[in-house]
Amino acid sequence: MREGLERVVGALRIAADGLDQLFERKGIKSHLMLNPDGHPWIRVMHPMDEVRFIGITPNRGDGPVYMKLRAFLYEQDKEEIDRLLSGKFFSFEGVALPRNAAYPGPSWLRYLEDDGRPVVGYEATIDVSDWAGETFAARIYLLCEAFCLFVRAAVTGGTEYDSLPDTRPNKPASERLHDEAALEELRGNHDLSESEFLALMKVRIGQSNYRQQLIQRWGGCSVTGCRLTEFLIASHIHAWGNCKSANERWDPDNGLLLTPSLDRLFDRGLIGFHDNGNVVIHPHLVRGQMHHFGVDQNIRLRSDVLNKHLGIRKYLKIHRDAHGLESVLRT
């Protein structure tokens, strides 16, 4: 077992006891489980009608220990999912935790969708590496309890949700500061001629403005809905270098806002999107590895935006044609 995980196992064992009493549904069970490699999980099974599963586990691998807090809901419960992914942040000890959409592995996907209804996940993470030994178990217990209560409040809504603290993470640097930093970087490159500097300056400022347009349009990731926009990438659908005009390059219909992993897969043509927003997966993307990138057959472009901006479809087809994805739709 990785060094540092032994105390995590002990703390999670204590925390698992009694979490099921935070929910009114009878017959549920919260318990600590160890995978064959000794990796610990708290699993709260079926705590509410909408919630299929709550899972709390440390990350794998070496380095700092992060606790991952996850909840999986039926995709049909859009209002509740929106409150989790787009509403108030889960905060612990006054700090708003990073959040993202989460996807279960293949074995858990089969279990969670055993009645044919797809699920959507929410994940928050917190670094617990520096928590003092004498208070570690107590803080883990409070963290697990607070997360379960947060999920319950977010799903049920009403006064319980309204009373949650509306803590927000620190605001990212303004786009103006990003622009100035980019220009300083360009000015420091003495190999550039004046004409090259001016051309690159226009591109960098243009990219910043374009990114802001996409943020205003999508409000978050075009697929997951993640609102941590400082980590999202403004991705051209029809590749920048292949655009025939400036209008195409800066057309908001030619852009998506994606998480880094989705951007990389999309840029390389390993995934694309149908005109209706459904994902198209290239055969070269190994099915057993897709979940590591947050990809499965159920992800899609957010229909609320796609249906308002039908011009996006033109660029989606160009992207599919360019990467051989159009033929995938016909197979």
Among 162, 196, 222, residue at a domain's last position: 162
What confidence score (pLDDT) does residue 191 get? Answer: 61
Tokens of 245: 């005009």
Q: Which pLDDT score is estimated for 241?
A: 72
At residue 37, the pLDDT reads 74
Tell the burial category of 185 from Cβ atoms under 10 Å away from its Cβ (0-12, 13-18, 19+). exposed
Mean per-residue pLDDT, 142-147 = 93
Asked if the model's pLDDT at residue 177 lies above 90, the reply is no
Q: DSSP assignment of 186-203, as one string?
A: HHT-TTS-HHHHHHHHHH
What's 87's DSSP letter? S
pLDDT band at 155, cuts 50/70/90? very high
Same domain, 183 and 325: yes
Q: In degrees, to the nearest 5, what angle opens at C-alpha 252 toward C-alphas 248 and 257?
A: 120
Retrieve residue 190's tokens. Answer: 């003495």
pLDDT band at 14 (very low <50, low <70, confident <90, very high): confident
Query: If you count DSSP H runs as helices and E runs as strands, how many of each does the chain have, helices first?
Result: 12, 12
Which residue in 224, 287, 280 sits closest to 256, CA to CA?
Answer: 224
What confidence score (pLDDT) does residue 60 get? Answer: 76
The secondary structure of 127-175, three-state, reads ECCCCCHHHHHHHHHHHHHHHHHHHHHHHHCHHHHHCCCCCCCCCCCCH
User: How far apart, in Å, do the first and last CA atoms of the chain sit?
Assistant: 45
- What separation in angstroms does the CA of 185 have from each of 92, 192, 234? 37, 11, 20
Residue 97 in domain: yes
Average pLDDT, integer, range 263-268: 90
In CATH, what number is assigned to the domain containing residue 128? 3.30.1460
Is there a domain that residue 167 lies in? Answer: no
Q: For residues 154 and 79, is the Cβ–Cβ distance under 8 A?
A: no
Residue 188: pLDDT over 70? no
Gap between the Cα atoms of 108 and 216, Å rounded: 35
- Percent of the chain whose pLDDT exceeds 90: 25
321 has a pLDDT exceeding 90: yes
Range of the domain at 252: 175-330
State the total domains in the chain. Answer: 2
Query: Is there a single domain that holds both residue 158 and residue 192?
Result: no
Instruction: Compare 285 and 92 and report the one with higher pLDDT.
Output: 92
User: Domain for residue 317, yes or no?
Assistant: yes
Report pLDDT digits (tens) over 50-80: 888 899 999 876 677 889 999 999 888 888 9
